[in-house]
Chain A
Amino acid sequence: MIITKQKDKKTILDYLKGDKKIFIAGCGECATVCKTGGEEEVLSMKNFLGKYGKIVTGTTVVDVPCHLVKAKKMYQQHKKQIQESDSILAMVCGDGVQTIMDGTKGKKVHPALETLFLGEVQPNGRFVQKCSLCSDCVLDETGSLCPITLCPKGLLNGPCGGAKDGKCEVDKDMDCVWIQIYERLKKLGQLSKMKKIQPTRDNSKRLSPRRLETK
């Protein structure tokens, strides 16, 4: 899940200075789960912008706004409203903002959300980053706990020696993942994996922008 939070309202109004008519697009997937760009949030944004003298030409929650075909479909369905708007306020992740721009023939699109990380959705509105999309997954070596993400130093060969009472030296509210990896591998009878010297990583695998051609 792509975790987002809403930018502060003042920033959003700043982006929209100069624009009078606004079309609002939300996201039916991640931003709905994060409660940052679902039906409810889009409606409340509409009311908010109305209070500040904006004319909201229309709203929609795109089922998957990061899907170019779906973004184009959204454009076809709301063509008139979008064309008469000065801009689109996109309550979607950074990827979705750009896909919507592509799908609406280069319309001016403002981001309403801060795109934070790929994360696990936990109860009570808690979201935790578990994977940093490194393009070279080591989870099989580490008992399914990601040291690239959960160790602030991204170490591959064991703990840094700085954990106190099992807590990470960088963030005392967090367990040292290397101690957890050790405990897990021990339980799984796979400590030999931790004893293996992990080679340096090939950073060229995760240079941006990344692409994948499957056909």
Chain B
Amino acid sequence: MSLAEKLKSDKFIVTCEIGPPKGINVDKILKEADSFKERVDAVNVTDLQSSVMRLGSLVMCYLLRTWGHEPILQLTTRDRNRLALQSDILSAAVLGIENILALTGDHPLRGDHPEAKPVYDLDSVQLLEVIKLLNSGVDMAGNKLDGKPKILPGAAVNPGIDPIEPEIIKMEKKVKSGAKFFQTQAVFDIDKFTLFLKKVKHIDVPILASVILLKSPAMAHYMNDNVAGVNVPNTLIKDIESVDKKDRVKKAVEIASGLINGLKTLCRGVHIMPIGWESKVPLLLDAAGL
């Protein structure tokens, strides 16, 4: 069953995210992805995440596909103009990649090539419109395509951001522009997330809530200080601090699986962001009963 079909069923969806390597050695990441194959419904591949130059999402998605995964191509508008974006969407379709997460992307100034020219010819809403157009068999210039793609477009939403209203306005625009699923920024506070869901209950598009493996108190503090819309509650930080370093993995898995269990009844699925701990994903899936 494809991700599109699963989203239409009432199955609880699990997606997981991987970041391509900086370099060309893909064995490790493929092996790690293999360890959760068939246990997750799709695997997101980040697109030069945090504006750090690395192997491309398209190639990594293709490799995952040949290894039997269902990939989700993350596509940002940061680095490519409309010619390149449309071309990459067609390329993805030819390579059998059917899911695209349409993103604006972090600014290059925050990455490892701050002198790069940011492109942003389109924004994420406009990129969704473009996918809709290409799916209908024409390009942005109105030219007819010889064979049309069948891409399932998804989008991102940050449920913890303040103020939330502009974010919801944008979310509604993304739905109008064809988003068929949402993946969220990391969720740590189930009560707050429940409030968000109440505010968007008029939006009838599946939401997959992101869960992060919290490696250390330092990581939690870093996210609280630097990542918009993320607020790791103090109780969770104390919880990680309370265990020995060697038990950190166990603790991270316990916290994340607890969150997943809380989310099971709230939304359509979860999106796991292991951020370097890809090898621990099977443990998390075990603990969460997935």
Contacts and interface: CB of A to CB of B under 8 A. Distances in A.
A, B bound: yes
Interface of A: 152-166, 169-171, 178-179, 182, 186, 191, 194-195, 197-201, 203
B129 A197 contact: yes
A199 B125 CA distance: 9
A12 B149 CA distance: 57
Interface stretch (B168-176, B192-200, B248-256): B168-176
Nearest to A195: B169
Given A158-B170, A161-B158, A170-B107, 13 more contacts: A155-B104, A157-B173, A159-B161, A160-B124, A161-B157, A161-B167, A163-B228, A164-B229, A169-B228, A182-B169, A191-B169, A200-B129, A200-B140
A162 B82 contact: no
A104 B168 CA distance: 58
Nearest to A171: B109
Interface of B: 78, 82, 104, 106-107, 109-110, 118, 120-126, 129, 140, 156-158, 161-163, 165-167, 169-170, 172-173, 176-177, 185, 226-229
Contacts of A161: 104, 156-158, 161, 167, 170, 185, 228-229
Contacts of A194: 166, 169
Contact of A159 (B82, B122, B167, B177): B167
Contact of B166 (A152, A169, A179, A197): A179
B136 to A, nearest CB: 16
A201 B82 CA distance: 11
Contacts of B227: 164
13 contacts: A152-B107, A155-B123, A160-B124, A161-B104, A161-B167, A162-B158, A164-B228, A171-B109, A182-B166, A186-B165, A200-B121, A200-B122, A200-B129
B170 A162 contact: no
A195 B107 CA distance: 24
A156 B166 contact: no
Contacts of A170: 107, 109-110
B75 to A, nearest CB: 15
B228 A157 contact: no
A179 B229 CA distance: 14
B102 to A, nearest CB: 12
Nearest to A200: B126
A77 to B, nearest CB: 43
A194 B170 CA distance: 9
Contact of B125 (A153, A178, A197): A197
A169 B107 contact: yes
Contacts of A199: 126
Nearest to A181: B166
Contacts of A182: 163, 165-166, 169
A156 B123 contact: yes
B173 A158 contact: yes
Contact of B226 (A155, A158, A164): A164
B16 to A, nearest CB: 21
Contacts of B226: 164
B170 A197 contact: no
B177 A197 contact: yes
B78 to A, nearest CB: 8
A23 B10 CA distance: 80
Nearest to B176: A197
A153 to B, nearest CB: 5
A195 B185 contact: no
A153 B107 contact: yes
A152 B228 contact: no
B228 to A, nearest CB: 4
- A-B CB proximity, top 7 nearest: A158-B170, A157-B125, A161-B158, A182-B166, A164-B228, A170-B107, A155-B123
A215 to B, nearest CB: 34
A121 B165 CA distance: 33
Nearest to A157: B125
A160 B226 CA distance: 15
B106 A169 contact: yes
